[in-house]
Amino acid sequence: MNLGTRDYTSPRSPSFGQKRRSLVLRAVAKDSPLRRYDWVLLAAVVALSLIGTLLVYSATQPSADPRSYLIKQLINVALGVILMVVVSLLDYRQIRLLAPFVYLAAVLGLLVVLSPLGSTVSGAKAWINLPAGFQVEPSEFAKIGLVLVIAVVFGELRDGGRVPGPKHAAGVLALAVIPVVLVEREPALGVLILLLLMTFGMIALSGLRLRWVAALTAAGLLAVVAVFQLHLLRSYQLDRLTSFLHPAADPTGTGYETIHSKIMIGSGGMFGTGLLHGPLVTASFVPNQQTDFIVSVAGEELGFVGCAVIILLLAVVIFRALRIAARADDQFGLLVASGIALWFGLQAFINIGMTIGIMPVTGLPLPFVSYGGSAMFADMIAVGVLQSVHRRHPVFR
Amino acid sequence: MIPASHRRLIVLYAIVAALLISLGGRLWYLQVMNGQSYVRLAVQDQTQTVITPAVRGQILDDAGLPMVDNASSLVVTVNMMNLAAQSDGGTGVLHRLAHLLGMSDKLLTEKVRLCNAQVTQPCWPGSPYQPIPVADHVPDSIAVQIMQDHAQYPGVSAGVNPVARYPQPNGANPAQVLGYLGPITAQQMKQQHLPTTGFSGVDLVGQAGLEQQYNQALQGTPGQQVLSVNSAGQQLGVIRNTAPTTGNDLVTSINARLQGDVQNVLSSTIRKAQLQGNTHATTGAAIVMTTGGRVVAMASAPSYNPSVWTGGISQKQYRQLVGKATGVPILNRVTQGEYAPGSTFKITSTAAAVKAGYSLSGTYNCPASYNVAGHNFLNDGQKSLGQMSMHEALVISCDTVFYELAYGIYQHDHTRDNVVVSPKAPMQEMQKMEVAWGFGRAPGIDLPEQGAGSIPTREWLYYLWKGNAHTGQNWCKYGRANGTYVQQIEYQDCHYGNVWEPGMAAIAAIGQGYVAVTPLQLANAYAALANGGRLYSPRIGEAIISPTGQVVQKVKPPLIRRLPVAGSTLAYIRDALAGVTTGAGTAAGAFSGFPRSKVCVAGKTGTAEVFNSSVTSVFASFAPCTNPKYVVVVMIPNSNYGAEVAAPAARQIYDDIYGLEGHKAALPGGNLPRGLPKISSSGSITAPAGYGGS
């Protein structure tokens, strides 16, 4: 496949040599990593983050101190961008080497969450309290960790085979089960579903023979049926999963968020009420409107136009990720980039879908837009990985 | 690189595109296609409305004396939205409040919970944003404690709520005329488009009498406070606040002083009739009207104290109001009671005879009995009185004269139509005259409760027969050709019930048989006779005055029609009736010694015999004899001759009106107040100039 020509003067990797050059010179040099950045992706991510920051500011107006939310989220974005740049500067073979550690760190974090060090917010024990009032949500890092480690497994088939077989798929499943089980203990149903779908998607993309993919699909469907039949879900989880279909049945209980989020979004109309001018936002009708229900705020205050812009920017991010996957030099790069695309795509769909009543209400933030440090950092690290893959593909053609 | 991965990436492109497009489509559907309906839902979401009931207007007599006004009742309300914001959800406050009010914790908690399909009374059926009344008629000391100790009772307030009060000036208590207030019904709520609190104890509307008739004017407009609220129901601010506007006052033409006197006369008359052995005389009706159609006094016995309705009527009290044993006090016998008018009806019979060609200057025979188509009709047991003028026939009330007149008219009145089985048969000449005087039709007075009485027209007979021959009383089933008296009549009615017979015509002419009138109809007909032939639709309301004293609307009795009777005929009848209270007149005894030189009273006695029962005593009258101003009608069922019971009662009423025979004049000089009472914006009421009143 022809991925176009690039005007490299040197086949050397920028990671090697030129240790003496200043940072500025390196940045502007012909072989500078910045020159090989995916600027469209970066612009879309920054735009989403800034829109998100404004929405967070608006969404927290009913709180005591909306300004502090604004500042915190701006810091989150800034730190996220720095993290992204740092990661993007890594050679992605280095990333491959780091992948198991990221995965292990995330699993360790999930274990710590379940220990007495974990803290509970709105029913889910998903956070670790750090000194100085900071909190970390390890499940966000589990997403990038799982993507990386699956790509590692499928990216270099140790037994020398050309195409991954059921053995590899089983190994990947085993790796996925650990964070899935830990996330289930929190419980964070949204993350659980996302991790399973991502794992399944990456197995399908790995090149595993279709018959095995079909078998896995069948097994997965059977498992879903079994979960419902054997009542393995907690009753509130089952209510959550089904109430979006008939929210009016329990308008003050499980259907509450669906009903009021739809009213918020619907009442925004074409152009919305204007930022900071949404009466329902001001009255904080939907809980967690700065995190999981940030789209409700966008819907009321920015209208259809504002929501469409957010969806288009997300589309840019996801399609750039898929483009990077398609152009990746090797299987690892392809799988990492497409795994991230899957992650962002699924999470965006589930999150926006729940605010407009076509998906169950599960606790997943909207990538780059929702308030929260851990999510922002994890998302930005993923973008850094994408940039790294993007930067590398001509060299390892 | 694995080619399968690249192929499958393209599938992933498609899936992502599909997901994002479905999101966009759904947003388009919600925001652009259905945006407006969600805007409406959003408005509902963020506002709550609190209703403040308006103070109801007063009902005043013609001099401005209130017959219904507002007393204040101290009411303790609990605002659950405030209480819910307490750390303990308000249980501490409720506990303290229950103790203070001497109410059980359980009852108070139940009173403030919201009603729904599972939760039934006691509970609050209104909006949770509405302050919930938990106790009324609270002593001042408790109210003061609640108001001063705000920290102990957050969300609790004690306020003054108006409740209807009946001051009864001079004992004036026209209970059935005033009507009562009751909880608004779902149907009324729909009709009136009024903001309601949803609580029946607050949303009261007139459900009878003047309260119902003039409800629109009296009720005012409730205040509306539109609050913006957040998702927790906490109040964020007030969007709109409209204060309640007090209802308008209704000035009636009822004179409270005379009303009280008439009530006393009526009840003492009934008592006297009982003492004279008429044990069934327990009810009665009396009315004083102007000849222009205004009601000055209206009394129905037995009566009741309308304050039983205040604060909700109990089952027991309600049963007493509608119970036969207590005489159905809720019934307004002046407008709803239907009685045979007896000889008072002879005025229309006279007019009909003149119209049919009988001369007022002719002489008429008054035999002891008169044979109508083979049946003998007696002149109330009197012997033959010989030839006499029409004047004398009215004065001494000779029945046989009117039998002859009625039979004479009958014989030339479309006799073929008498047997036609059809509702379209033409009306008989005599009955046409009666209907023209307002009988057989509701008089259209400004009260919801009014009877039409009955006049046996051919159409009326047809429907009576149709309704009772085989259904209803089912004459054909129970009638026997040779059974008891009742069975024989039923047998005949089954076969000939639709036939207008000469005997019926004869007894209808003296106000018996199928004829039934309400005292109001009778008074109204006599008013038309007295005023020279103008039949009005009577009115009790005189004016509607705003709380600031502006006259919003004046009420005038509308003219129904001019009687189809020559003025000279009416004058002849009036002159004859003037003779009834003197000389050989039937009421001469009842009016003996009455200062006729001061006030000449013209009237007609009536004694209607009702099968299986005592007679109804009737006296219909007007005064003065020339240029009459007032009409007085008294009807006492189950008592005695009109001259014995009703006529003396009417005499006392005239005494009260004019201040004769030692009575205090209710209307000095026989004059009604000129003009309307003045109501100042401060609420004080001044009687019309020159009228000693409040």
Instruction: Categorize the per-residue pLDDT at B694 as very low, low, confident or very high, splitting at 50, 70 and 90.
Output: very low
Instruction: Categorize the per-residue pLDDT at A21 as very low, low, confident or very high, splitting at 50, 70 and 90.
Output: low
Residue B676: pLDDT over 70: yes
Q: Please report whether residue B362 resides in a domain.
A: yes
pLDDT of residue A395: 45
Report whether B439 contacts B525 (CB < 8 A).
Answer: yes
Q: Give the number of other CB atoms < 10 A from CB of residue B415.
A: 11
| A 248-277 near B (Cβ less than 8 A) | 260, 262-270
Q: Please report whether residue A8 resides in a domain.
A: no
- Does the beta-carbon distance from A260 to B5 stay under 8 Å? no
Instruction: Let me know whether B412 and B306 are in one domain.
Output: no
Instruction: Let me know whether B462 and B391 are in one domain.
Output: yes
- The CA-CA-CA angle for residues A268, A274, A278, to 5°, reads 60
Q: Give the closest residue to B257 by CA, choosing from B59, B446, B62, B58.
A: B62
Instruction: Let me know whether B434 and B483 are in one domain.
Output: yes
Number of domains in chain B: 3
Q: Please report whether residue A4 resides in a domain.
A: no
Distance CA B107, CA B121 (A): 10
Residue A12: pLDDT over 70: no
Using a CB–CB cutoff of 8 Å, tell me whether B45 touches chain A: yes
Burial class (CB in 10 A: 0-12, 13-18, 19+), B193: exposed
Q: Please report whether residue A20 resides in a domain.
A: no
Q: What is the DSSP letter of B121?
A: S
Mean pLDDT of chain B: 87
pLDDT of residue B49: 72
Where does B279-415 show beta strands of DSSP type E? Answer: 284-290, 295-301, 363-366, 369-372, 375-378, 386-389
**C-alpha radius of gyration, chain A, whole number:** 21
Residue B353: pLDDT over 70: yes
Residue B130: pLDDT over 80: no
Instruction: Categorize the per-residue pLDDT at B486 as very low, low, confident or very high, splitting at 50, 70 and 90.
Output: confident
Residue B386: pLDDT over 80: yes
Q: Please report whether residue B98 resides in a domain.
A: yes
Distance CA A171, CA A165 (A): 10
Where does B10-155 show beta strands of DSSP type E? Answer: 47-52, 59-60, 66-78, 132-135
| B 192-231 near A (Cβ less than 8 A) | 228-231
In this predicted model, which residue has the larger pLDDT, B86 or B31? B31
Alpha-carbon distances, residue A218 vs A48, A222, A224, B8 (angstroms) = 37, 6, 10, 18
- Does the beta-carbon distance from B34 to A266 stay under 8 Å? yes
Report whether B7 contacts A206 (CB < 8 A).
Answer: no
pLDDT of residue B78: 87
Smallest CA–CA distance from A269 into chain B, residue? B31
Instruction: Categorize the per-residue pLDDT at B611 as very low, low, confident or very high, splitting at 50, 70 and 90.
Output: low
Residue A394: pLDDT over 80: no
Chain A positions in Cβ-Cβ contact with residue B116 (cut-off 8 Å): none
Span B7-53, pLDDT tens digits: 999 999 999 999 999 999 999 999 999 988 888 888 777 777 777 77
Span A343-375, pLDDT tens digits: 999 999 999 999 999 999 888 999 999 999 999
- Does the beta-carbon distance from A356 to B236 stay under 8 Å? no
Q: Which of B15, B32, B42 sits opposite A304 (nearest CB)?
A: B32
Alpha-carbon distances, residue B347 vs A125, B374, B609, B616 (angstroms) = 98, 27, 18, 18
Span B506-559, pLDDT tens digits: 999 999 989 999 999 999 999 999 999 999 999 999 999 998 889 999 999 999
Residue A4: pLDDT over 50: no
Q: What amino acid is encoded at B678 in this protein?
A: K
Instruction: Let me know whether B431 and B487 are in one domain.
Output: yes
Using a CB–CB cutoff of 8 Å, tell me whether A279 touches chain B: yes
Instruction: Let me know whether B384 and B323 are in one domain.
Output: no
Q: Which two tokens stand for residue A61?
A: 């107006």
Residue B181: pLDDT over 90: no
Span B616-667, pLDDT tens digits: 999 999 999 999 999 999 999 988 877 889 999 999 999 999 999 999 999 9
CA end-to-end span of chain A: 10
The phi and psi torsions of B290 (rounded to 5 degrees) equal: -80, 160
Using a CB–CB cutoff of 8 Å, tell me whether A334 touches chain B: yes
Q: Please report whether residue B452 resides in a domain.
A: yes
Q: Please report whether residue A19 resides in a domain.
A: no
Percent with pLDDT over 90 in chain A: 59
Q: Please report whether residue A338 resides in a domain.
A: yes
Q: What is the DSSP string of A290-336?
A: TTTTHHHHHHHHHHHHHHHHHHHHHHHHHHHHHHHHHH-SSHHHHHH
Q: Please report whether residue B518 resides in a domain.
A: yes
Q: Please report whether residue A320 resides in a domain.
A: yes
Measure A388 CA to nearest chain B CA, in Å. Answer: 18
Residue B212: pLDDT over 90: yes
Q: Please report whether residue B250 resides in a domain.
A: no
**Residue B485, domain extent:** 342-527
Span A37-48, pLDDT tens digits: 899 999 999 999
pLDDT of residue A126: 84
Mean pLDDT calculated for residue range A146-156:
92
pLDDT of residue B693: 45
Q: Which two tokens stand for residue A242?
A: 């089904």
Give the domain CATH number at B640.
3.30.450.330
Instruction: Let me know whether B450 and B506 are in one domain.
Output: yes
Instruction: Categorize the per-residue pLDDT at A15 as very low, low, confident or very high, splitting at 50, 70 and 90.
Output: low
3-state class of A226 per DSSP?
Answer: helix
Interface residue of B16, B226, B239 to substitute, partner A, most A CBs within 10 Å: B16
Q: Please report whether residue A1 resides in a domain.
A: no
Give the domain CATH number at B359.
3.40.710.10
Q: What is the DSSP letter of B125?
A: -
**Residue A278, domain extent:** 36-392
Using a CB–CB cutoff of 8 Å, tell me whether A321 touches chain B: no
Q: Please report whether residue A291 resides in a domain.
A: yes
Q: Give the closest residue to A37 by CA, choosing from A263, A45, A252.
A: A45
Chain A positions in Cβ-Cβ contact with residue B46 (cut-off 8 Å): 279-280, 283, 285
Number of domains in chain A: 1
Q: Please report whether residue B540 resides in a domain.
A: no
pLDDT of residue B134: 83
Q: Which of A9-13, B335-339, B507-511, B634-638 has the lowest mean pLDDT?
A: A9-13
Instruction: Let me know whether B486 and B574 are in one domain.
Output: no
pLDDT of residue B308: 84
Instruction: Let me know whether B495 and B396 are in one domain.
Output: yes
Contacts of A225 (CB under 8 A, 6+ apart): none
pLDDT of residue B23: 95
What is the total residue count of chain A? 397
Q: Give the closest residue to B535 by CA, choosing from B555, B500, B558, B560.
A: B560
Residue B498: pLDDT over 90: no
Instruction: Let me know whether B321 and B402 are in one domain.
Output: no
Distance CA A184, CA A232 (A): 11
Residue B231: pLDDT over 80: no
Instruction: Let me know whether B351 and B315 are in one domain.
Output: no
Instruction: Let me know whether B574 and B656 are in one domain.
Output: yes
Instruction: Categorize the per-residue pLDDT at B313 as very low, low, confident or very high, splitting at 50, 70 and 90.
Output: confident
Instruction: Let me know whether B439 and B466 are in one domain.
Output: yes
Q: Please report whether residue B371 resides in a domain.
A: yes
Q: Which two tokens stand for residue A150?
A: 């699956």
Distance CA B336, CA B316 (A): 24
| A 76-135 near B (Cβ less than 8 A) | none
